[in-house]
Amino acid sequence: MESAVPPRTPKPTILRLEEFLPFRLSRLSNTISAGISATYTHRHHLSVTEWRVIAIAGRFPGLSARGITVKGALDKVSVSRAVSRLVGHDLMTRSVDPEDRRRSVLKLSAAGRAIYRRIAPAAIAYEQRLLAALDPVEREALDRALDKLWQRAQELEQARPVAES
C-alpha cells in the first residue's frame, strides 16, 4: 500500500503582489484619490479630509463632528482640524448644540456651499469617466462585490483581538 498521506510539499506561498487584492485596492484607490484631489487641491487649497468634510456637511447639514467622523470613516482628530480650518476660512459655521453642549452643529456657509456646488460635479464627472470603463452589468457586479467585501472587512475588524502580543 502506498503512503496514505501524499508527501505534501510545503507551499512556497509566494505573495504575488500584483494579484493581491489589498494591494490592488490600495493602488487603485490612491490613484483615484490623487486624480480627484487634483481638481480641488490647488484650485481651492483644500486637503482631502477638508473636501470630505465639505462633502458630508453639504449632504447632511447640521451634523456634529462625530457624525462627520462616522459618515466619512475619518479620524476624529483630522475632522477636528479640518473643521477648524474650514470655519476659519468661513466655509463652515460651528455652533454649540443646545441639546448637548458637548456637541457642535456644523453647516456649510454660503461660501462653503458654493465650493461644494463647484467641486461635487467635478468629482462625479471623474467617477463617471472611471465607470465608463465598465458596462452596466460589470458595474452592478462591482457594486455588489464591494458591498460584500466592505461588510466582511468590518466583520474581520470586529473579530480582530485587541492586542496580539
- Judged by the rule CB under 7 A, the positions of this chain that interact with DNA are 47-49, 64-67, 69, 75-81, 83-84, 94, 100-104
Q: What are phi and psi of 94, to 5 degrees?
A: -130, 120
> Cα separation of 152 and 81, whole Å?
31
> Cα separation of 109 and 120, whole Å?
16
Binding mask 129-148 for a copy of itself (x = CB under 8 A): xxxxxx---xx-xx-xxx-x
104: nearest Cα among 82, 133, 127, 134: 82
Window 2 to 61, contacts with a copy of itself (CB under 8 A) = 13-18, 20-36, 38-39, 42-43, 52, 55-56, 58-59
User: CA dihedral defined by 88, 94, 83, 122, rounded to 10 degrees?
Assistant: -90
Q: What are phi and psi of 104, to 5 degrees?
A: -105, 155
Q: How far is the CB of 156 from a copy of itself (least distance, A)?
A: 6
User: Are the CB atoms for 134 and 117 separated by under 8 Å?
Assistant: no
Return the number of the residue (42 or 102) whose C-beta is nearest a copy of itself: 42
Binding mask 60-99 for a copy of itself (x = CB under 8 A): -----------xxx--------------------------
Return the number of the residue (1 or 73) whose C-beta is nearest a copy of itself: 73
Q: How far is the CB of 43 from DNA (least distance, A)?
A: 15
Which entry of a copy of itself, DNA, none binds 101, CB below 5 to 8 A by partner kind?
A: DNA
With cell 458630508, the residue in question is 56
Alpha helices in 17-135 (DSSP H): 21-37, 41-44, 48-59, 65-72, 76-88, 110-131
Return the number of the residue (38 or 96) whose C-beta is nearest a copy of itself: 38
Return the number of the residue (5 or 21) whose C-beta is nearest a copy of itself: 21
